[in-house]
Structure 1
């Protein structure tokens, strides 16, 4: 995860970016998560909110007083999509160990799978709290970048 300080129209935001696939990222802005997909042209597609959306930011109109900020809308969890449920390989490698079994309740960051890449063991953790509903790989299997490893509900 990489952290950035982003300023938009004079307002500062803390941004954390986690790569979840070859062209998919989880972008966390001031505690709110969005799933984005990077297109081949290098442009970022419309963000898919993973939690409450950011308020709309309009460009300032000269000589117009700034209205007071609106109260935030109540947080409504977004519907779960298949991409939210997949734990993907962050790099190509070989599955060394499957740490959990289907039905195991996991916490965010808890190891799920150990992946060997470039002679290093990499623990792949759960992206969020949930229950592992399926393991999609076997020990010894080679996987590519972004390939689904497990499913979490």
Structure 2
């Protein structure tokens, strides 16, 4: 009877490890894809705004670094459990998975904050650039018009 219970416990443990590992990999893949989509979708004005030391962008970067650390901790716990070390208990793996989920949620919150902030700033930068370009073109046209309207006298100095 004990051998049956032991075999059942070993099978259950290996299934739990595989399930936790699959959940962790899926969570990591989906979160990194969302982050990469936001970073790849930035336009030139958003990138310029980020270079100014934008705190929301820095928060996004820090959230990604924290997520990468939690992901590495989870991978270490899974590797320790597969190796059979005492640090790799199922409780430890589940704890690291929970921490990685919290880190992923924080990263998602920072992604949403970054999207909102950059959308609020980018249109203002685009408008300012448009105004500057129109002003430069207007000054050029104005100077050409003034030059052609000036009376040309044979006695005028050039």
More strand by percentage: 1
- Specify which structure has the bigger relative contact order, considering alpha-carbon pairs within 8 angstroms and separated by 6 or more residues: 2
TM-score when normalising by structure 2: 0.24
The structure with the largest helix share of the pair is: 2
